[in-house]
Structure 1
Amino acid sequence: MKFTAILALLLTSTVSGFTVKPNLGGRMNMKINMAEEAVVEAVEEPTAPPAPKGPTKVPCFGATPWLGGPKFVGENYWDKLTMEYGSADTGSFLRAAELKHGRSAMMATVGFAFHKCGLTLDHISPHKYLSVSEGVTFADLAAMTPLEAMKHVPAEGLTQMFGFIALFEIFELTHKNGKLVSDATVAPGLSPGGLTGDLGWNPLNVEVTDRRRLSELQNGRAAMVAICAWVAASEIPGSFPLPLPW
């Protein structure tokens, strides 16, 4: 009897040693994870800023560097022409027009200065006459002011100048990336953004950087101001307040 009681006591203690205890840590972890998920769901995702209303501002290349950063003279008019009355393609056309006018003005200032400094064709050209049929000699033109000389150029000579300039314009109107476009319903130069002033003519393979582009624009702007001042000083005495070298 005593042996049976002792055996039952041993079996009871052995079974209690193998009893599985509840995993309280697992329950706590589950509660913590559920709380974290609830916090994540409660946090609202950041919303993207609203898209700007109206046309996008068109950047303008060629702002003049001043103290404190580049300044864009006429920015209000630029914004009106490119955002209100036109688009970014309008800006490309305006920049091309400025570039071409600047190049023409640079050529004009060189010719005007050569004439005023006496470097005229009567000292350079082996020919005496500009036009034999009209009886116009280079010496006659050299004795005149630059504007008077231009007025005495015969119509045939002015037509040649116009035709020379028209060749470049027609080239830009009909070519794209230096190649003639013949299968387009609209000429490349007449399509939006087609005129840029870049003719693709670079025989010396000069690297075209933004600094060189800006230099050309600035020199063209200076030339446009200079030729206007020189013409005014030549035709209206006293209209230009600064002394000129001629």
Structure 2
Amino acid sequence: MKFTAILALLLASTAHGFTVGTVGRSAMRLNMAEDAAEAVAEAVEEEAPAAPPAPKGPQKVPCFGATPWIGGPKFVGENYWDKLTMEYGSAETGTFLRAAELKHGRSAMLATLGFAFHKLGLTLDHISPHKYLSVSEGVTFADLAAMTPLDAMKHVPAEGLTQMFGFIALFEIYELTHKDGKLVQDATVAPGLSPGGLTGDLGWNPLKVEVTDRRRLSELQNGRAAMVAICAWIAASEIPGSFPLPLPW
């Protein structure tokens, strides 16, 4: 009987010791895992770079169309660009200014071609089947061909100038009222009057020409050259000796 009691006590103490030891080791492992996870999290927090502070004040607006030059592209008039887009306006102001330059360049390219055709004798009196530009005003194409280009423009009747203005206005109205080639009808403000709405891109590309940055830059550069050329040609035509280089006419 005594042996049985002693054996029961030994088994109970052994089981108690095993249980306590196992629980203790499990708890120790759990604590170590938690400590390791905390250490890893702290290390990640220390290694993660701090977020840069938010920029203060107006930010510089990048400009497309820098002029290729020795040593890299140069942006002529960058100080004025920064003033207009950062001090007096915003990035949308820059979009409007670039569209204005693009349209002026296109107009100058047309004017340059018209001026050159007139000076080279490629006038409508040799092309048009009609003799008169205006029968009511008695203006013939031959009369205009005998004048300088600027004088010829001055003698175009008011109705003719109105037709030119109306033709140009159609494109402007289209850009004011359309977006992505579609007429916008449910907007309270016309797309062209919203910030950044006027870009000079009418979305009309029937030949599916890929519009790359190189082509955009070429159009800008040709427009800039045409603006300088037409100003020089008009000055040379109206003020003899004002242009120092000889012209082909």
Say whether the fold is shared (TM-score over 0.5). Answer: yes
Shift of 1:47: 2.8
Question: Against the structure 1 CA distance between its residues 51 and 233, is the aligned structure 2 distance closer, same or farther, given a 3 Å change threshold?
Answer: same
Structure-2 change in CA distance of 1:142 and 1:33 (3 Å): farther
**Aligned partners of 1:35 and 1:7: how far apart in 2?**
39
Count of residue pairs the alignment pairs up: 241
2:30 maps to what in 1?
Answer: 32
Q: Secondary structure at the match of 1:237?
A: coil
Alignment-derived partner of residue 7 in structure 1? 7
Hey, what's the Cα distance between the residues in 2 that align with 1:61 and 1:154?
A: 40
156-165 or 6-15, which deviates more: 6-15
Relative to structure 1, the CA distance from residue 18 to residue 105 in structure 2 (aligned partners, 3 Å threshold; closer, same or farther) is closer
Deviation at residue 51 of structure 1 after TM alignment = 2.4
Could you tell me how far 1:52 is from its partner in structure 2? 2.0
- 1:101-149 deviation per Cα after TM superposition (whole angstroms, max 9, x unaligned): 0000000000000000000000110100000000000000000000000
In the aligned structure 2, how far is the partner of 1:4 from the partner of 1:202?
104
Distance 1:106 1:29, change over 3 A: farther
Residue 40 of structure 1, CA deviation: 9.0
Q: Which runs of 4+ in 1 moved over 3 A?
A: 1-20, 26-46
Provide the secondary structure at the position in 2 that maps to 1:19. helix
Secondary structure of residue in 2 paired with 1:197:
coil
Cα 1:41–1:235 change in 2 (3 A) is same
**Whole-Å separation in 1 of the counterparts to 2:104 and 2:73:** 22
State TM-score, norm by structure 1.
0.83
Q: Structure 1 6/217 Cα, relative in aligned 2: closer, same or farther at 3 Å?
A: closer
SS of the residue aligned with 2:19? Answer: coil
Q: TM-score, normalised by structure 2?
A: 0.82
Output one character per residue of 1:85-116: Cα deviation in whole Å (capped at 9) or x when no partner: 11111111001000000000000000000000
CA distance in 2, matches of 1:220, 1:137: 31
Deviation at 1:200, TM superposition (A): 1.0
Alpha-carbon distance between aligned partners in 2 of 1:187 and 1:11, rounded to the nearest angstrom:
92
Cα distance in 2 between the residues matched to 1:183 and 1:155 = 37
Distance in 1 (CA, whole Å) between partners of 2:238 and 2:14 is: 125
Using the TM superposition, give the Cα deviation of residue 242 of structure 1 relative to its aligned residue in structure 2, in angstroms: 0.7
Structure 2 regions of 5+ residues with no counterpart?
Answer: none
SS at match of 1:77: helix
Q: How much has 1:56 moved relative to structure 2? A: 1.4
* Equivalent position of 2:62 in the other structure: 59
Counterpart-to-counterpart distance in 1, 2:192 and 2:5: 113
Distance 1:46 1:178, change over 3 A: closer
State the percentage of identical aligned residues.
90
